[in-house]
Every structure is written in C-alpha cells, then in structure tokens.
Amino acid sequence: MYVTMASHIVGYPRMGPKRELKFALESFWDGKSSAEDLQKVAADLRASIWKQMADAGIKYIPSNTFSYYDQVLDATATLGAVPPRYGWTGGEIGFDTYFSMARGNATVPAMEMTKWFDTNYHFIVPELGPDVNFTYASHKAVEEYKEAKALGVDTIPVLVGPVTYLLLSKPAKGVEKSFSLLSLLPKVLAVYKEVIADLKAAGASWIQFDEPTLVLDLESHKLQAFTDAYAELAPALSGLNVLIETYFADIPAETYKTLTSLNGVTAYGFDLVRGTKTLDLIKGGFPSGKYLFAGVVDGRNIWANDLAASLATLQGLEGVVGKDKLVVSTSSSLLHTAVDLVNETKLDDEIKSWLAFAAQKIVEVNALAKALSGYKDEAFFSANAAAQASRKSSPRVNNEAVQKAAAALKGSDHRRATNVSARLDAQQKKLNLPILPTTTIGSFPQTVELRRVRREFKAKKISEEEYVASIKEEIRKVVKLQEELDIDVLVHGEPERNDMVEYFGEQLSGFAFTVNGWVQSYGSRCVKPPIIYGDVSRPKAMTVFWSSLAQSFTKRPMKGMLTGPVTILNWSFVRNDQPRSETTYQIALAIKDEVEDLEKAGITVIQIDEAALREGLPLRKSEQADYLDWAVHSFRITNVGVQDTTQIHTHMCYSNFNDIIHSIINMDADVITIENSRSDEKLLSVFREGVKYGAGIGPGVYDIHSPRIPPTEEIADRINKMLAVLEKNILWVNPDCGLKTRKYTEVEPALKNMVAAAKQIRNELAK
C-alpha cells in the first residue's frame, strides 16, 4: 500500500467495470430480481471502489457519490421534495417512489430530465414551490458513510450543495414561473442541518458540498445566497472540515471573492484543467490557513496526465497556499470517464500508453501527491514523459490533407442557396406529405436477439452474410410495422448500430474504440464514447447500403440517419492537442461526403442529428458566441451541397434550448425534431414570446424515457398546444427521442396513439 499523501478524488464511476449496476437495475425494473439483490450489487461496487482508492493511497476518499439514478434525485429524496403526483405519504423514501420520479410509472409521468451542465450526464430536475414540505426522508449519506467506516475506510461524505440544488430546480406545475426558488433556502437548510448532525454523530471529520453553479455567471442575489447559506450552516458545521467543490469551468473573479470569504469553510476545490484562469485568481490571493484542493487531473477526458506540467503547476501553488494546505485532486468527478484501462484488451499498446481511465487517474493523483512530498516515482514519471512525446510525434495523429481541407472552410459560411420557405415548397411537391406529418426520431427497440446478432458478428461467430441477412430482416420488420401504423416518413430503425456515435466513429479514420469504456448517461443508460486521437476523414460510405435497402422496402419516404459533427464531438473523448472547432470541421467534411452519397442513392429525407449541440455550450457567457458560431457553421457544412428537393432534418434532445433558439434557426435545417414533452413543453414558451420559426418543426409529443404509454387524448392535447403557437403547415408529430431503450410492447401502442392523435387533429382542422 502507498504512503497516504494529500490526495483527493471528487467522485467515481458507479456502473462498475463491466456495467454491473446497469444490469442489476434493469433486472430489478423488469421484476426479475429483488430490492435486496440490487442493494447487494450496489454495496459490493461501493466496497470495491473505496478499497481501490484506499489501496492507491488516496487520503480524501468520497462517499455518497454512488447513486441508483443521479445525485440530484438523491438530494430530492433526502429533502423529501417529492411531487404530490407520486403519492408519497412520508417516511423513508423507497425504490418505488424514487424510480417513479425518475422513470414515471403506469399512471404518472416522470420528472423532467436535463443535462448536467455541459456534460452528457443527465439529472432529474427538482420541481419546487412554496408549499413543498421539506423533510429528512433519505438517510443515504450517513448510511454510506457508516458502511465505508465499517470497512475501515474513513470518507468525506459528499452532498449536492444547497444553493446549487435550488438553482438547478424549477417551479412545479401550477407555480408562477417568477417564483423565487431561493426563497426556499431556509427550509432546505433546516434539513441539511439534520444531515450534518447525523454525519457528525457518525464520526465524519470532513464534508464536501458540490457547488458547481459557482462557475456560472451569477447575479448578485444568487451570489448572496451562498454567503447566507453557509453563514446559516456555520454553527451546525462547527467541528467539521468543510470543502466547497467546484468544477467544469473558471470561477468568475467576483465569485472567487465570495467563495473564499464563506463562513465556516475550510477548503476550496477548483477545476484547474477547464478553469485555467482560476490559477491567476489563486496566485493573486488565497485565504491564509485554508486548504486548496487543486484539480489538475482531468476528470472528464481519458488522456494521460502530463505529470511534469502538473507537478510544475502544483509546485507553483505551494508558495501561495503552503505545502501543508495543498491537496492534489481530480478536476471533477471521474463519473464522466471510463472505469479501468486494464479491461481494454483490443487497444494497441501505443494508443493505450496515451490514456488514463478512472483507475489510472487515481494512481496519477497519488503519484503527483507523492512527488510533491519528495517521494517522486522517477520511473513512473519517465514512462509518462515518453508517452506524451510519442503522442505528439506519432504519424497516426496528423493528416496534412485533412488539415488543409478543414482550414479552407473558413472562407465561407456554407449556406444553401435557396431560403427555407422555397425549399419546403419544392420538397412538398416531391414528398406529398399530409398536414401534421408523422415520423419517429430514428432508432427502434434494440431487442435481446438483435444485440446477440451484433455481438456474435463482432466476435466472428457468424459470417457477414448471416449478419446482413439478420439485419435486413429486422429492417423489413420495422418498415412493415411503420406502414401498418400509417406513419408518413419512415426510419430503418438502426438495427446495425449499438450507439449513434460509436457506429460512425468505427468507420472514420482518427478514432479508436474500447471494449469496456462505458460511461453513465442517465439511470442504467451507458454509452461507450469513441476516442478521437487524430485527424478525421471518411474512407468510404457508412450508411448508404442500409438506407438504400430500407428505401427498397417501401414507397414512403425513408430517412437517411446520420449523427452530426458537433454531436460526434461532444459525445466522444476528444483529442486535447488542438481546438475542438478544428476537430469538428474535419468531422463535418466527412459527414458532408456521406450526405451527398445518400442523395445520389435516391434518399430524399436525410436526418443529421445534433442532439448534443446545446450540451457543448460553454458555461461562461463570454465564450458562448464563439462556440455557437463554429458549431452551427459545422452543421451547415454537412448539407450545403444538396438539392432544394432533399429535405434535411436535425434532432435535439434533453437540454434547455430556449436560450439558443436563434442559433437553432441559423442552422438552416428544413425540419427540426426536438424534445418537448419530458420538459413539460418548456420549448413552446419561446414561440409564445414571439420568436418566429419558418422551417418545419416537431416538438416531441411524448416522453420515450418512461415506460408509460400516453393516451391519444393526451397527445392530441399536446398537438393543439403546439398549434396555438406554430403554423399547421410547418408542424410535425413525433416522439421526444429515439426508441431504442423501449420495448415493442410499449412502442407499438404509443405510436398507434400518436398517429391516431395526428389524424384526429387533421380531421378537426379540415372541418
């Protein structure tokens, strides 16, 4: 075991190295296992994580970062802030109530889900109002602390900070939108005091409050809320060391002053990877006698740390904060990276030497802490330096032709020559669609059999001919079902794809892939982000065969399904040796080639998903315009060369789009389908406020992340609400998102009701 140095991990992945928690959750939800079975899997995972950190020599080990769904929902449970529709009557919140809030049930919909800052992780948005009766209803934080202590590991319990919790909440349905959520702070703090008292009684000596909203551009009254909150908590926190953890961006200068003046706070954690300007603030003045938790190891990417550079940064900080007050940390929770590089058996040695997953980052943190204390592992640092040099000089990374093509893009804004209104007229003459055309977003259920076929083909257990025959039959089945449901614009269901980004990355140069590099997106949903290590190009067509095959099965329009360049970027582990915009332009050129090949093959509707465009928006307002400029430009590059009669769709989901609506319009897509129902139709408010949208638009009419089947009347009501703010000739009817996570027993009746609702409204409009 290493000597324990001043080292800290903000948080750790929960799913397990082989997604053990995912399978345990899904088994429980399907009624195939008990709550006790699920809890046993979770306890075993927690124990192994704590042991791993302790064995690596980490001093400040977090607890209560494990979650069955997400940490904000855990905070909602702790506070007893359960919306009345779930029928909770008090007592300790159990799985039934907890998962009903997250996923909905047969009678009530789930709470809204949205992105966690600028990541692909999601959280369940708290619904609050003046009548919420906050009460200490989940003792998870103290139970996990005691659990770790019983295993011989003293941890730092982690809580979502009270101000961040309220700033991430929304007014409940029926509550005025102008309601001040921060007015609930005294009620929330009363419960936090109870949690703190429990943790103190259990023997905790440290407590970590995650307050990532401190990196945002906050108005003065919101900053004041932090001062008020921690002043109020100070007596309860007396005797504890208190760490306020921030991450994902720089801290604004005024916020830094507020944060470092908070009452009763012992330590401050900063992201020094994405928040490099924060270094200047720290060097300009740091409170005497306080701890600095310096986040120099990247919690959000998989590249090996440049140990020499990080050590130099830390040594510079020693003179500012004092040697005994400097703690080496990750920049954020390791939740956002893959679990362990040891599980990767198919990555070649060169690329593997460039990488560090969560388990390796723990070692990096402790190696830096040891070096800072005079116990530098020279061999480890030398191997790291060699890997850094290898990556910089590798011919696999650079492609001069690709770089020149991307550089040449900057001379034009790449707009289609004809305006969207004229294009829609030309497309309607060709497609002859009814008013309120129906469609789906792309994927259909990924059955056990379908996953088996893909798995066996990858393992070379079945031939390519057998694989193609199986996928062809699945496409035929999906097309037939859509025709029977009388959907207007069809999709092929994407049976050949496990993941919308991974599928394209596997066929583009400059990408590498993992076997077990899974990352949690929400609940049990995991994704396996590709690794973009070099310049990107398209060696050959990627989707033309499958789209053409699907179109041959029907006379109705068949969408060609692509993932857009910004979404591929934001849902990958991206190279950090050049600006993200450069990588995106390279991907855009590859997708442009694919779009034009689809058009040549006779595909007249092409969807280029940009589900993650909003997700990548920088957290600081001063950086947002530049991002939106190159992100929107990249999308336009993909389809600038198509004919007016080719209809370009895009799709976006599970983010707050209202503040970027003008950039969405600037994408110049012919049709956009966009999540709407899970967020309680928040999107429609932007049109009520006078924003004019002339292209086709399909705000989602039902939430696909819940097993609940919406009745026809409910969908018809949603369509009528849309017609109150949107013209009937531009409105489309579709679900919120793709259907891959649902079962056919849920999908078929839901789509049947959707089509029935569209026909009902068409008839009413005709009258």
- Residues annotated within a binding site for Zn(2+): 651, 653, 662, 675, 737
Left (φ > 0), alpha (ψ -120 to 50) or beta: where does 627 sit? Answer: alpha
Residue 448: CB atoms within 10 A of its CB come to 6
The two three-digit tokens of residue 184, written as one number: 């609930």
Q: Does 705 qualify as catalytic in the annotation?
A: yes
Coil, helix or strand for 687? helix
List the binding residues for L-methionine: 441-443, 494, 609
Question: What are the start-end ranges of the H helices in 57-184?
Answer: 71-79, 95-103, 140-150, 162-167
Coil, helix or strand for 480? helix
The two three-digit tokens of residue 277, written as one number: 């300007």
Burial class (CB in 10 A: 0-12, 13-18, 19+), 366: buried
Residue 236: DSSP 8-state:
H
Listed in order, strand segments (DSSP E) in 248-312 are 267-271, 291-297
Sequence letter at residue 582: E
Residue that is written with structure tokens 């401050």 in the block = 268
DSSP H/E element including 305: none
Q: Could you say which of 8, 336, 633, 705 is catalytic? A: 705
Burial class (CB in 10 A: 0-12, 13-18, 19+), 387: buried
C-beta of residue 566 within 8 angstroms of C-beta of residue 616: yes
Residue that is written with structure tokens 């011919």 in the block = 395
Listed in order, strand segments (DSSP E) in 356-414 are none
Half-sphere exposure of 510 (CA within 13 A, CB side): 26
Residue that is written with structure tokens 């950086």 in the block = 623
| β-strand partners of 171 | 128
Residue 119: DSSP 8-state:
S
Coil, helix or strand for 571? coil
- Over the Cα atoms of the chain, what is R_g? 26
The two three-digit tokens of residue 311, written as one number: 């050590």
List the binding residues: 22, 120, 441-443, 494, 525-526, 571, 609, 651, 653, 662, 675, 737
List the binding residues for 5-methyltetrahydropteroyltri-L-glutamate: 22, 120, 525-526, 571
List the binding residues for L-homocysteine: 441-443, 609
* Cα distances (angstroms) measured from residue 366 to each of 170, 369, 760: 40, 5, 64
* Cα distances (angstroms) measured from residue 438 to each of 1, 476, 488, 648, 649: 61, 19, 5, 16, 13
Sequence-distant (6+) residues with CB within 8 A of 717 are none
Q: For strand 113-115 and strand 519-522, is the pairing parallel, antiparallel, or unpaired?
A: unpaired
State in Å, rounded, how far the first CA of the chain is from the last one.
Answer: 78
| Angle in degrees, 0-180, between the axes of helices 580-600 and 400-407, rounded to the nearest 10 | 90
C-beta of residue 636 within 8 angstroms of C-beta of residue 413: yes
Q: Which residues are known catalytic residues?
A: 705
